[in-house]
Amino acid sequence: MSYELYYWDGIQGRGEFVRLALEDADAAYIDVTREPSRGLNEMLGLLSDPSEGQLTFAPPFLKDETVIVSHVANILLYLGPKLGLAPKEEALRWYANGLQLTITDLVAEVHDTHHPIAVSKYYEEQKTEAKARSFEFWNNRMPKFLAYFERVVQQNPADSGYLVGSKSTYVDLSMFQIIEGLKYAFPKAMNDYERRYPLLARLQNAIKGRPKLAAYLASPRRLAFNQEGIFRHYPELDMAA
């Protein structure tokens, strides 16, 4: 049976990290809210079902027969071995999950650059604070995260060019998405990032060239970045030229 992915339609958002793994592995899956015969109401129904014994706080979540898995890192930890995208050694699986959770934290910080005060309010209502938070982000936080991941590739004992172990894993796919998103949201702050983070840039190119992933990225299933997702391009939040 196909995996069933539940996430908001119309944005890449957090669901995209799961899609990249499913697509790269050519796995059979249903993107429930984008499926004409299914749709948003089915997801909302599951979230509020008073008879459901396994409640999810927020999308994305994955159904695999009777198993329901929520949160991106949890879903990827679950799918990784099944899709051939996890390290073989158990110690490295714990390490991979730690790396994925660091990516999770980075994603949350990216989100808060445009919503530093209230997720219930529009960006335009917190623009001043968003500028201050964005300055902090690309001045301190983004370099700290990216320098960390650069070191992770550099100090990988397998010297594979990937983040963990000798082969590519779901963490590399998520790293690809992070770099794509940051380049979209903060083109000026990310300008010349290849020079500062050469190993991440090389990783990025390697991932982008994977046949299944490349086919997905060129397909209509890959939505464009837009102003509703996690990564948004507001020029006033980017570094000055």
Q: How far is the CB of 146 from its own copies (least distance, A)?
A: 11
Q: How far is the CB of 49 from its own copies (least distance, A)?
A: 9
Among 2, 39, 108, 227, binds its own copies (CB under 8 A): 108
Nearer to its own copies, 21 or 213 (CB): 21
Q: How far is the CB of 209 from its own copies (least distance, A)?
A: 26
- 88 touches its own copies by CB under 8 A: no
Alpha helices in the chain (DSSP H): 15-24, 40-48, 72-82, 90-114, 127-136, 142-154, 170-185, 193-196, 198-208, 211-217
- Binders of its own copies in range 20-79 (CB under 8 A): 50-57, 61, 66-71, 73-74, 77-78
- Binders of its own copies in range 221-240 (CB under 8 A): none
Q: Are 217 and 223 in contact (CB under 8 A)?
A: no
The H or E element containing residue 64 is: strand 61-64
In what order do the strands lie in the sheet containing 3-6? 29-31, 3-6, 61-64, 67-70
Nearer to its own copies, 85 or 103 (CB): 103
Nearer to its own copies, 64 or 215 (CB): 64
- Give CA–CA dist 106/104, Å, rounded: 5
For residue 126, what are the CA distances in angstroms to 107, 123, 132? Answer: 19, 5, 10
Sketch the per residue contact string, 125 through 164, with its own copies: x for CB under 8 A, - otherwise.
----x--xx--x---xx---x--x--xx--xxx-------
Q: Are 91 and 165 in contact (CB under 8 A)?
A: no
Nearer to its own copies, 32 or 69 (CB): 69
What's 231's DSSP letter? S
Contacts of 216 (CB under 8 A, 6+ apart): 19, 20, 23, 24, 222
| Placement of tokens 């000798």 in the chain | 166
Nearer to its own copies, 94 or 122 (CB): 94
Nearer to its own copies, 95 or 193 (CB): 95
- Give CA–CA dist 165/88, Å, rounded: 8
Angle between helices 170-185 and 90-114 (to 10 degrees): 20
Q: How far is the CB of 45 from its own copies (least distance, A)?
A: 14
Q: How far is the CB of 121 from its own copies (least distance, A)?
A: 8
Contact residues toward its own copies (CB under 8 A) are 50-57, 61, 66-71, 73-74, 77-78, 90-91, 94-95, 97-98, 101-102, 104-105, 108, 112, 116-121, 129, 132-133, 136, 140-141, 145, 148, 151-152, 155-157
